[in-house]
């Protein structure tokens, strides 16, 4: 099986550089690099879709959500998705309120709302992702 995948890759001229480019277009690669450079700590609040990538790229931080649906349960997943969609009650999501670090998509409804929330400070942004840290002015209690 591995040989077949390798041969298909050779035939389609798929390079490591091309694969890295695809990953950089879909996942918060540069944001993770920034978080590592600044040595930010958690708890981390993240979207379900990026959980697996963040587990791999930030192993020192526990993700709030990932594709292991049997671990998280339907209610928790629904709450997280509602929060990321900016639906009523997003501002009181217990996991978001405990977060010291948030990594989200640049166009996610939640990240748009967080830009005006004094409990969080935008510290990084690129074409894919944003990074917020909990405010240090005492407004947010952990």
pLDDT of residue 81: 87
Q: What is the mean pLDDT of residues 32-45?
A: 95
Which of residues 19 and 96 earns the better pLDDT score? 96
Alpha carbon 126 to its chain's center:
13
Domain ranges of the chain: 26-134
**99-138: pLDDT as tens digits:** 999 999 999 999 999 999 999 999 999 999 999 999 875 4
9 has pLDDT over 80: no
Residue 70, token pair as written in the block:
């049997």
Which of residues 101 and 76 earns the better pLDDT score? 101
Query: Is the pTM value of this prediction over 0.85?
Result: no
25 has pLDDT over 70: no
CB 120 within 8 A of CB 133: yes
For every residue of the chain, which 3-state class applies, written as one string? CHHHHHHHHHHCCCCHHHHHHHHHHHCCHHHHHHHHHHCCCCCEEECHHHHHHHHHHCCCCCCCCCCCHHHHCHHHHHHHHHHHCCCCCHHHCHHHHHCCEEEEECCCHHHHHHCCCCCEEEEEECCCEEEEEECCCCCCCC
**131-142: pLDDT as tens digits:** 999 987 544 333
């Amino acid at each position: 099986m591995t040989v077949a995948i390798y041969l298909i890759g050779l035939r389609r001229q798929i390079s490591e550089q091309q694969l890295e480019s695809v990953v950089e277009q879909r996942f918060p690669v540069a944001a993770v690099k920034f978080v590592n450079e600044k040595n930010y700590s958690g708890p981390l609040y993240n979207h379900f879709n990026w959980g697996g990538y963040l587990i791999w790229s930030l192993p020192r931080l526990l993700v709030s959500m990932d594709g292991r649906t049997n671990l998280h349960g339907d209610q928790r997943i629904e709450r997280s998705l509602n929060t990321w969609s900016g639906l009523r009650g997003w501002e009181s999501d217990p996991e978001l309120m405990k977060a010291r670090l948030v990594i989200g998509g640049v166009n996610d409804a939640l990240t748009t709302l967080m830009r005006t929330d004094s409990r969080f400070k935008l510290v990084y942004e690129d074409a894919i992702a944003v990074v917020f840290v909990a405010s240090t002015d005492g407004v947010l209690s952990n």
